[in-house]
Structure 1
Amino acid sequence: MDRFEDMRNFVRVVERQSFTKAAGDLLIPRATMTNSIQRLEDRLGTRLLERTTRTVKPTHDGEAYYHRCVQILADLDDADTSFTNPDPRGLLRVNLQGTLARTFIIPAISEFKERYPCINLVIADGDRFVDLVHEGFDCVLRSGDLASSSMIGRRLTLLREVTIASPDYLARVGIPETLDDLEAQGHQMVCFLSGADDKPIPLDFVVAGKVREISLPPSISVTGADTYAACAAAGLGLVQVPRYRVADDLRSGRLVEVLPEYPPEPMPVSVLYPQNRQLSARVRVFVDWLTELFARTEF
């Protein structure tokens, strides 16, 4: 095992804060990972990691060495790709927003695999906040505004959004014709809690080119995108979602669009990756492929 492999192992242990998780990511035995880090510390003559029963953290020297390793390994990957191996290869761990993945990405993923057969792609999906570095992901796809300054985002597209409710809910409360009707008729909303702090998201409407936010009394609060849309179908109140997610329900009449003259602001879709690293060839081609995919997709 050469020193570059030891460096790769060290970087993964720091990011995963675990020998076991890092070894699992790299598909090597835990004992091999432990021996690799010990060999690295012996060669450098310094302790790189503080080990406890619950976590692993870099020492002061380890933190400085980690940042050097990240840059060196990125440069090495670029050099290998440019001169000895034009086809990106290796493990690529991505986290995708579930509905976007199932609707647009998974149906087309065979195209990416055919184009880059040497990339071992691992996909996780969900809506929750993800710590890319500590959870070992190379990039993440999310919809909504970008709030984290620790990541770089590339916007892929804007999703048209609609305000919807079920027919029985509108029969009970009334069909709003203006934004003032929302309060006058006593409408409720399904409250979506977003981000690591579960911040409530108000309804928003574009009026004469400007966004007006309205918070209605919540009938229920949820954290999942699928649950959010299901609450509208169950007659629990107004929700705002990307149109593609409810297109079939709108055509069938199971859900009804309201206030189409005041549409919600379009929702951005972005791919995110850590700002303190140079993109590997694997991540770069995946991000480029996502950009290409969304550019030719109609929403």
Structure 2
Amino acid sequence: METLSGLGIFVETAQTQSFIATGRQMGISASAVSKSISRLEERVGVRLFQRSTRTVRLTSEGEVFLERCKRILDEIQAAEDDLSAMTQFPRGRLKVGLALAAGLPLPAISAFMESFPEIELDLDFTDRLVDVIDEGFDVVIRGSDLSDSRLMSRPLRPYRPCIVAAPSYLEKKGTPGKPADLVNHACLHYRWRNSGKLYQWPFKKKSLKDAAGTLPIAMVCSDIEALLYLAKAGRGVACLPDFAVKDAIAHGRLMPLLDSHLTGGNTFHIVWPSSRQMAPKVRVFVDFMVEHFAAGLVTEKAH
């Protein structure tokens, strides 16, 4: 068991390239991760990682060893899934990738935990497009279409962008009637965590997109909840997904703006690897999310 644990720590470290991040993911200290890697290197007789003050990277020997370890751990997982399938009782660890979506998945996740207490959830929140198979996810909920033939998917429900501002802000600064009017407003922007690029507000025509490129920047952040808070506090105009602002709009804390000028939107999908038998824990999670996830989304325009 210690050997298997060491292999798991090794694979996780190869993915995170950080003892600290691996420890955080696995619930152990960075020191424990380092010691585990050192014991593994001593046992196999080669150096698996090149260490620096900021990161750790695989050696050429480590890259070869990583592929073998992944296959070993996949076989163990497949064996556990086969046994679970025999009993038809969903149990075990389920690694789930989730989009950073202003808390949208949390009510459904909480309800799932109550319904299936034998399933241990390992939740990973990110705005990047994860590699479901290579990163070892059992299932991923993401706000984009399926583009990988190795995956199966089911749609959850669409969402769309909304430009909003607080009534208190509009009383002071006035209400923009067209996108070009935003040059005179405090605009609150979202930055993608993975790429560092600003989210471009999706206006319909090219001329309006050009205008959007010149929008003032009063604030930039990489957290939807922070952006929502500051918009409700009257600090400026923000572009947020409709599910994030629907409650604030319903209670009059935010006002929708320039809706007829917007385009875009996407659909949340739940995806999972198609290469192996669908384990009961995956099947019940997929079915549960299809039934319950959409409760937090908007079925019609938010105003």
Instruction: Report the TM-score when normalising by structure 1.
Output: 0.68
1:86 Cα offset (Å) = 1.9
Matched-pair contact (CA < 8 Å) for 2:231–2:237: yes
Q: How does 1:1-299 map to 2 (within 5 A)?
A: 1=1, 6-7=3-4, 9-17=6-14, 21=22, 25=26, 37=40, 41=44, 47=46, 49-50=48-49, 55=56, 57=58, 59-83=62-86, 85-94=87-96, 96-97=98-99, 100-101=102-103, 103=104, 105-109=105-109, 111-123=111-123, 139-143=139-143, 145=144, 154=153, 155-183=155-183, 186-206=184-204, 213=209, 214-215=212-213, 216-271=215-270, 281=279, 282-295=281-294, 299=298
Once the two structures are aligned, what percentage of the paired residues are identical?
Answer: 26
Distance 1:249 1:51, change over 3 A: closer
Q: Please give the per-residue CA displacement for 1:244-287, whole angstroms capped at 9, x wherever unaligned.
A: 333343234332111232344224334567x7985873445434
Matched-pair contact (CA < 8 Å) for 1:163–1:264: no
Distance, in Å, in 2 between the alignment partners of 1:248 and 1:73 is 45
SS at match of 1:191: strand
SS at match of 1:203: coil
SS at match of 1:204: coil
Distance 1:69 1:289, change over 3 A: same
Distance, in Å, in 1 between the alignment partners of 2:49 and 2:34 is 17
1:225 Cα offset (Å) = 0.6
Is there any run of 5+ residues in structure 2 with no aligned partner, and where? 299-303
Q: Please give the per-residue CA displacement for 1:131-177, whole angstroms capped at 9, x wherever unaligned.
A: 9899986555454x57998x968453222432111224333443233
SS at match of 1:59: helix
Distance, in Å, in 1 between the alignment partners of 2:57 and 2:171 is 57
Distance, in Å, in 1 between the alignment partners of 2:136 and 2:264 is 33
Distance, in Å, in 2 between the alignment partners of 1:19 and 1:227 is 29
Distance 1:10 1:297, change over 3 A: same
Distance, in Å, in 2 between the alignment partners of 1:22 and 1:179 is 46
SS at match of 1:226: helix
1:124 Cα offset (Å) = 5.7
Matched-pair contact (CA < 8 Å) for 1:138–1:283: yes
Distance 1:48 1:118, change over 3 A: farther
**Letter paired with 1:79:** D
Distance, in Å, in 1 between the alignment partners of 2:233 and 2:192 is 21
**Letter paired with 2:164:** I
1:106 Cα offset (Å) = 3.5
Distance 1:33 1:91, change over 3 A: farther
Matched-pair contact (CA < 8 Å) for 1:71–1:278: no
Distance, in Å, in 2 between the alignment partners of 1:115 and 1:130 is 27
**Letter paired with 1:80:** L
Is there any run of 5+ residues in structure 1 with no aligned partner, and where? none
**Letter paired with 2:93:** L
Q: Please give the per-residue CA displacement for 1:186-210, whole angstroms capped at 9, x wherever unaligned.
A: 2342121113231011211346xx9
Distance, in Å, in 1 between the alignment partners of 2:220 and 2:38 is 49
Q: Kindly report the root-mean-square deviation, in angstroms, between the aligned alpha carbons of the 2 structures.
A: 4.6
Matched-pair contact (CA < 8 Å) for 1:129–1:196: no
- Matched residue count: 281
1:108 Cα offset (Å) = 3.8
Distance, in Å, in 1 between the alignment partners of 2:156 and 2:231 is 27
Distance, in Å, in 2 between the alignment partners of 1:272 and 1:236 is 37
Distance, in Å, in 2 between the alignment partners of 1:278 and 1:118 is 22
Distance, in Å, in 2 between the alignment partners of 1:24 and 1:233 is 33
**Letter paired with 1:290:** M
**Letter paired with 1:228:** L
Distance, in Å, in 2 between the alignment partners of 1:279 and 1:12 is 26
